[in-house]
Structure 1
Amino acid sequence: MPDLTTPTFTDLPDPKPTGSATAHHVTYGKLMIPQQQILTYSSDEWERFIEEWADSQKSSYKRVARFSGPDDMGIDVAGFTDEKEIYGVWDNFQCKHYKDPLGPSKAALEVGKILYHSYQDHFAIPRKSYFIAPKDCSIALKKLLGDPIQLKKYVFNNWDNICAEKITSTAKVELVDDFKDYAEKFDYSIFTSKSTLEIIGEHRKTAWFAVRFGGGLPERPKVIPPPDEVQISESRYVEQLFEAYSDHKKASLKQASDLSAWQELTDHYNRQRELFFNAEALRNFARDKVPPGTFDELQNEIFHGVIDIEAGFHADALIRLNAVTFAAANLPLTSNPLISAVTIQDKKGVCHQLANVNRLIWKKP
């Protein structure tokens, strides 16, 4: 019979691999999916996330605004469909940060605020009033939101201990008389919720998604070739191109037809316009996929990478232009969020964008 006072041990088995390991895993660890990341947010980070998410709603409303009054009145973010704003047709988003799933008692207070303040004509009854929380709504609250009669019953039964003294900081709000009649007739089906999966899906449409959650940038759309006619938006860099050609050939060259005697210049001119439109396509891509200012930072990085070359001595303006775009093509960009989407054509094209606003000059006085 074994001695029960003597512990026995079994060797641990070797850990089993959970999948292919990559250099990315070694540097950054495994990527947390957005739903997991949200669960780690502080109240401040949750607030920033909601501000980013609100940007995705702007296409659905005339205006999306955050409430900033002394009492929140049950409103965090509002989406207005017309110029009447809070007195017109609008949707309410209650986006509080809670460490646990949002339960009936906290939601009942927010329902009470909407009841009271709409009764007081502080705003029109919202078309919909959404509850949004990092850990979503509890099962109990989801059941109430799915049954307006039961939601109303819960609010009425718990009014005194949940709502009465917390709706405003200036007075106790009792559920009596005309206000009670108003609350009795109120349409409680306006109260609903958005899950974190829905919020993340809508956040995905914003310029902040890739920076916040990782996973890389989406594939860029195919670049549209430049139109035959020079556009007003590209007039200055094109003017600078002809100044460079004129300086190189010691002749007055002002338009594409003037280059017909030199096939290499015609080809060069066509390539530079393609490069410019590549960079413009990147600018448009950046507008929707990364935070504002990201493309400007990329331009600045390229500018500082080539400005000393642009400012140096060159035999003529075309040689200067080619030296600058060659240097740009070989710049080792380091930290900009757009790096994975940037091509050699883009880097050269940015030089023409800079020339388009006279930050780079090919023909020096």
Structure 2
Amino acid sequence: MRKNYPGLISVLNAAELEDFVDDWLEQRYKDYHSHERWSGTGDRGRDVTGYVTDRRMDGPWDNYQCKQLSTKLSEKALFVELGKIFMHSAAGTYSLPRAYTFVAPLGVVRKVREFVAHPDTLKQAFLDLWNTYIADDLVENATVTLSPEIEGKIRAFNFAQVHWLDASRLAKDPACMPALVKWFDADPGQSPRGIVPDAIQDNESAYLSQLVCIYEERGPGTYADPEAALACPTHGEHLRIQRTRFFDATAFDRFYRDSTPVDFVKTFRHEVHSGVVDVHQDEHSSKFTRLNKVMQQAALLQTSGILGRHAGPHVKQGTCHMLANEGVMPWDR
């Protein structure tokens, strides 16, 4: 039965929520060069930051403000938390973020929704309400009035880049799946089967060249390239099976790299390698026999965890070809 992931996110404590969001950003490698969690006091209005370039906060960056509250995010919290960014930026602590996202598992009140939906209204409200509604709540026992520097930062900021996420929206983000796996033992499901292209691809050339050498040792004849071996009635069908295994494993690898923490795929590949390496290194009557013995052993392996649950024999066999492709466990030895 599918778990209630929004409900589970909603009962994390404040520190856990920040860690969860940090794990979420870990998977958003297409959006960010790196990310950072600012824990404890002195975060200067930042909980988790995503950096677009290696310039980090000296370049474009996004701020994720985590608000694990007993109620929905209030209008007051919207102004005060976002106001801290303008205050610190005006003081020269950092440049304005490219975007600011409130992560509030229980959601936001209607007034906040209205402000976020109307960026120009939100900007004007900051200018109009700063001294009467915001200034006394930014720093303990102090009043931070609307200085020309702060006003300049407010006018410069693109309020269309203020967003909010509740637990439901967060859990539905495809990039959140690895965090759900790590925190709540979510199951991303079965990977798709691989698609075997007719033409030989660059990413399979190494292990295919090794297989060609094995076929030549077995005989009869030699092959100018893998395409020639595919056309051979003696070895063509065998080679087609190996390519199917390789592309199934490649699809498996790609799917779980995107849907589980990075160490899951590494662990799976380590278990496959550990399970077949002794057979691979053993003495055999021929290289072709070694190949078949390793394939037989790989099909019988029991691997652990979520990936082990979904890895069929063809995936484990294809993973051996991936290891051969990388030179970890070459066939032509």
Structure 1 residue 89 displacement after superposition: 6.6
TM-score when scaled to structure 2?
0.77
Structure 1 residue 198 displacement after superposition: 1.9
Which amino acid is the alignment partner of residue 236 of structure 1? A
> Larger deviation: 65-74 or 183-192?
183-192
**Counterparts of 2:194 and 2:207, CA distance in 1:** 19
1:161-310 pair list within 5 angstroms? 161-165=136-140, 172-175=142-145, 178=148, 193-202=164-173, 204=175, 206-214=177-185, 216-229=187-200, 231-249=201-219, 255-256=225-226, 263-310=233-280
Give percent identity, aligned residues only.
Answer: 23
1:82-101 pair list within 5 angstroms? 91-98=62-69, 101=72
* Pairing 1:157–2:132 present: yes
Q: Would the alpha carbon gap of residues 260 and 198 (structure 1) be closer, same or farther in structure 2, given more than 3 Å must change?
A: closer
Whether the 8 Å CA contact 1:211–1:337 is kept in 2: the answer is no
Which residue in the other structure is 1:358 paired with?
A: 327
Q: Would the alpha carbon gap of residues 331 and 161 (structure 1) be closer, same or farther in structure 2, given more than 3 Å must change?
A: same
Could you tell me which of 263, 280, 286 is aligned with 1:316?
Answer: 286
**Counterparts of 1:183 and 1:350, CA distance in 2:** 53
**Counterparts of 2:154 and 2:217, CA distance in 1:** 83
**Counterparts of 1:139 and 1:294, CA distance in 2:** 41
Instruction: Give the gaps of 5 or more residues in structure 1.
Output: 1-29, 167-171
Q: Would the alpha carbon gap of residues 42 and 228 (structure 1) be closer, same or farther in structure 2, given more than 3 Å must change?
A: same
Whether the 8 Å CA contact 1:33–1:213 is kept in 2: the answer is no
Whether the 8 Å CA contact 2:298–2:317 is kept in 1: the answer is yes
TM-score when scaled to structure 1?
0.71
Which residue in the other structure is 1:110 paired with?
A: 81
1:131 is paired with a residue whose SS is strand
Aligned residues: 327
Q: Would the alpha carbon gap of residues 193 and 311 (structure 1) be closer, same or farther in structure 2, given more than 3 Å must change?
A: closer
* Pairing 1:120–2:95 present: no
**Counterparts of 2:268 and 2:205, CA distance in 1:** 22
1:50 is paired with a residue whose SS is helix
**Counterparts of 2:75 and 2:182, CA distance in 1:** 34
What is the CA deviation profile of residues 60-114 of structure 1, one whole-angstrom value per residue up to 9, with x for unaligned ones?
Answer: x565643659843323344567898767776532124445544455444323312
What is the CA deviation profile of residues 172-225 of structure 1, one whole-angstrom value per residue up to 9, with x for unaligned ones?
Answer: 453266468669979896655322222222255554444444553245344211
Structure 1 residue 282 displacement after superposition: 1.6
Instruction: Give the gaps of 5 or more residues in structure 2.
Output: none
* Pairing 1:34–2:34 present: no
Structure 1 residue 318 displacement after superposition: 0.6
> Larger deviation: 304-313 or 122-131?
122-131
Q: Would the alpha carbon gap of residues 94 and 249 (structure 1) be closer, same or farther in structure 2, given more than 3 Å must change?
A: same
* Pairing 1:326–2:296 present: yes
Which residue in the other structure is 1:16 paired with?
A: none
1:72 is paired with a residue whose SS is coil
Whether the 8 Å CA contact 1:63–1:80 is kept in 2: the answer is yes
> Larger deviation: 177-186 or 291-300?
177-186
Which amino acid is the alignment partner of residue 270 of structure 2? N
Q: Would the alpha carbon gap of residues 312 and 136 (structure 1) be closer, same or farther in structure 2, given more than 3 Å must change?
A: same
Whether the 8 Å CA contact 2:177–2:186 is kept in 1: the answer is no
Which amino acid is the alignment partner of residue 304 of structure 1? S
**Counterparts of 1:155 and 1:341, CA distance in 2:** 55
If you compute each CA radius of gyration, which structure gives the higher value, 1 or 2?
A: 1
**Counterparts of 1:88 and 1:238, CA distance in 2:** 44
**Counterparts of 1:269 and 1:180, CA distance in 2:** 67
Which amino acid is the alignment partner of residue 34 of structure 1? Y
Structure ranking higher in helix proportion: 2
Which residue in the other structure is 1:48 paired with?
A: 19
**Counterparts of 1:210 and 1:62, CA distance in 2:** 21
CA-based RMSD of the aligned residues comes to: 4.0
